[in-house]
Amino acid sequence: MSSVGGWLDSIAEFPLPALLGVAALFGFAESGLGVGMFVPGETVMLVLAASLQENHALVALFVIAGVSNSMGDHVGYLLGRRYGERMRGTGVVRRLGVEKWDRATVALRKHGASAVFLTRVIPIVRTFTPAAAGVSAVRYRYFLPASLCGAYTWAIVYVTAGALAGASIAQVEKTIGDWGLIALGLLTVSVAGVVLWRRRRRAASALTPGSGELAHGHGRGPGDERAPGE
């Protein structure tokens, strides 16, 4: 059975443009409106960074990850500008939780465009904040730097962590052997799976009668529009 290091070497054999294309796709999806909840963009970035050994390749990965992540923000921002207050009643917001949308809105009221950066580590809320910024008519000259700062903070954390992990895998293999490393990898994947399952379960609870703010009808002001079909 191949070692984890062998798997990473196999990934590194793919053309660099193809790997950067994968990074761009997942970086975009990670911050895209409603998609980031289900797409493990961080995991993909960690694996790609761990598989790359050349400095120029890691720099390229960092640049692409940041740009694509910010582009995902822009989709939400443009949708918010286009649909305004109706965004709160859309299907994606109702599925993932109106209370998360309201948290993003509150963060914008308190911090302005900086909320796009400050909420980057908060699941779901981070995907809503750019759209909420569009609804709030945050000026683009303030939105852009906040988005880029948040995106590149995200990129540097996961690209650096992946690169460090890749550099240390050879030493870990020498210490605990291939089978021990594989067992450690399986344990890590299992823990990540449990965390992701719990996140999805919490998101799905908003749809269960009697189990959430949305189900009870709270969080909607008397003047808010109702979504079609409600």
Instruction: Say if 88 falls within a structural domain.
Output: yes
Is residue 224 over pLDDT 50?
no
Phi-psi region at 182: left, alpha or beta (left = phi > 0; alpha = psi -120 to 50): alpha
Q: How confident is the model at residue 218 (pLDDT cuts 50, 70, 90)?
A: very low
pLDDT digits (tens, 9 = 90+) for 59-70: 999 999 999 999
Please give the Cα distance from 107 to 54 (Å, whole number): 40
Please give the Cα distance from 27 to 163 (Å, whole number): 17
Instruction: Say if 138 falls within a structural domain.
Output: yes
**Measured in Å, how far apart are the chain's first and last C-alpha atoms?**
54
CA–CA distances in Å: residue 69 to residues 35, 156, 218: 12, 12, 32
Q: What is the model's pLDDT at position 205?
A: 59
Q: What is the model's pLDDT at position 39?
A: 62
DSSP state of 151: H
Q: State the average pLDDT over residues 91-114.
A: 87
Please give the Cα distance from 167 to 127 (Å, whole number): 32
Instruction: Say if 31 falls within a structural domain.
Output: yes
pLDDT digits (tens, 9 = 90+) for 8-60: 778 878 899 999 999 999 999 888 765 655 667 888 898 899 888 889 999 99
Instruction: Say if 225 falls within a structural domain.
Output: no
Q: What is the model's pLDDT at position 230?
A: 43
Angle at 167 between CA 23 and CA 24, to 5 degrees: 5
Its domain, for residue 82, covers: 4-216
Q: What is the model's pLDDT at position 204?
A: 56
> How many structural domains comprise the chain?
1
> How would you label 167-200 residue by residue, b for 16+ Cβ within 10 Å and e otherwise?
eebeeebeeeeeeebbeeeeeeeeeeeeeeeeee
Name the burial class of residue 202, with classes exposed (0-12), middle (13-18) and buried (19+) by CB atoms within 10 angstroms of its CB.
Answer: middle
Q: State the average pLDDT over residues 3-8.
A: 64
Cβ contact 35:29 at 8 Å:
yes
pLDDT cut 90: percent of the chain above it: 33
Q: State the average pLDDT over residues 140-166.
A: 92
Q: What is the pTM of this model?
A: 0.68
**Two tokens, residue 133:** 């910024």
Q: What is the model's pLDDT at position 215?
A: 41
Q: What is the model's pLDDT at position 183?
A: 56
Q: Which residue has the higher pLDDT, 116 or 198?
A: 116
Q: What is the model's pLDDT at position 116?
A: 92
